[in-house]
Amino acid sequence: MDSSVSATISTVTLPPPPPPPPPSSSASDPLLPHASSQEDQYVASITEEHEVTCWGCGLILILSPYTPIFKCGWCGAVTNHNSVKGDNSHFWWRRLRDRCFVCILLLFMFFIIGGGIWAIYPIVFSRSYFCGVLHITISVMLSITTLCTYILSAFRSPGAPPLIPWGSYPAVGKGGLEGYTFCNYCSKPKSSNSHHCRSCGMCVLDMDHHCPFIGNCVGAANHRVFILFLISAVISNFYVSIISSYAAYYIWPPIRNLPISVLSGSTDYMLVYGFLKEIAFAFFASVESLSLRGFVLVYLFIAGVSVEIGLCVLLWQQMSYIYEGKTYLIHLSSRGTNRNGKKDCQNIVRFFGCPYSATRCLLGFWNARKIHTK
């Protein structure tokens, strides 16, 4: 009985304890403090690597290493660590190019005005004194309007974003920089409806595009003046083409009369070809005896028509964007997406700053027609 009990007890003996860890070769102190110090150093290194300071309010945020773009939960500022300041070494070259375009365009306008007065109005005054006074009055009004709107759109500031406090937590309130990003060129906040123009060297509010012919950006402060310049320039070039052709009609040398027998025969291909050939030879023969005033009138007509076509295309494009409630840059950014603005004539009314009462009768009928067609 005793031998069986002793055999049972010997079968249930506990295993030996595990061997102790090897002693550290770098310290003779106990292992527990050393392990805790290594853990503290490891956590501290991770926290230091992913601490990011918000540029808007200055708060320190702890982020994941895979978040190059983040939005501050307090001020709403957006930070992009991947944004790199581009090369701005050609800034003065672009400014010089724009100023050269402005000087050339001003000389062209002064040449059109001076050449029109020298070549057109002696002929118009010789036909009728009343017509001469009427045409000179229209020309002076169109010239002043075109030059003033051009100078305002070229030398007026396109509109800078508003200056708001940033960089300090006490100065920036909750959501005070919502949607703002940081401009690396200007070193200041940039709103979502602003764009930095490297040709002008500034951020432009509601930027439409940079026009080299005015040497300036088209933005919130000069967009309306730019549209008025396009309208005035289109009307002026149309008037120049009409009045120059009217004056050239009276001073053009007489074209050699064609024989009537050419038109009395049967209308075949060779007859039409010969008739057109005679007209072309007669026209070029009359050009040889054309005076200097006549050549200036021909140039004014060709220049007026060509410039008018280009300005009409640009004006139509601008008015279509205004009708959609967009700018050119917004149109480019929304291309290929489903972001469609509300198309309405009220966008044009609000753009030009007209009161609603002045356009109630006109736009009410137009909007009613659009509703019925839908």
SS (H, E, C) the chain: CHHHHHHHHHHCCCCCCCCCCCCCCCCCCCHHHHHHHHHHHHHHHHHHHCEEECCCCCCEEECCCCCCEEECCCCCCEEECCCCCCCCCCHHHHHHHHHHHHHHHHHHHHHHHHHHHHHCHHHHHHHCHHHHHHHHHHHHHHHHHHHHHHHHHHHCCCCCCCCCCCCCCCCCCCCCCCCCEEECCCCEEECCCEEEECCCCEEEECCCEEECCCCEEECCCCHHHHHHHHHHHHHHHHHHHHHHHHHHHHHCCCCCCCCCHHHHCCCCHHHHHHHHHHHHHHHHHHHHCCCHHHHHHHHHHHHHHHHHHHHHHHHHHHHHHHHCCCCHHHHHHCCCCCCCCCCCHHHHHHHHCCCHHHHHHHHHHHHHHHHHHC
Token pair, residue 23, equals 């002693």
Structure tokens at 239: 């008037």
Euclidean distance between CA atoms 122 and 131, whole angstroms: 11
Contacts of 219 (CB under 8 A, 6+ apart): 158, 159, 204, 205, 206, 207, 208
Q: Which of 72, 200, 211, 217 is catalytic?
A: 211
- CA-to-CA distance for 160 and 207, rounded, in angstroms? 10
211 noted as active-site residue? yes
Cα separation, 211 vs 213, whole angstroms: 5
Written as six digits, the tokens of 364 are: 């009410």
How far apart are alpha carbons 328 and 334 in whole angstroms? 10
- Catalogue the active-site residues: 211
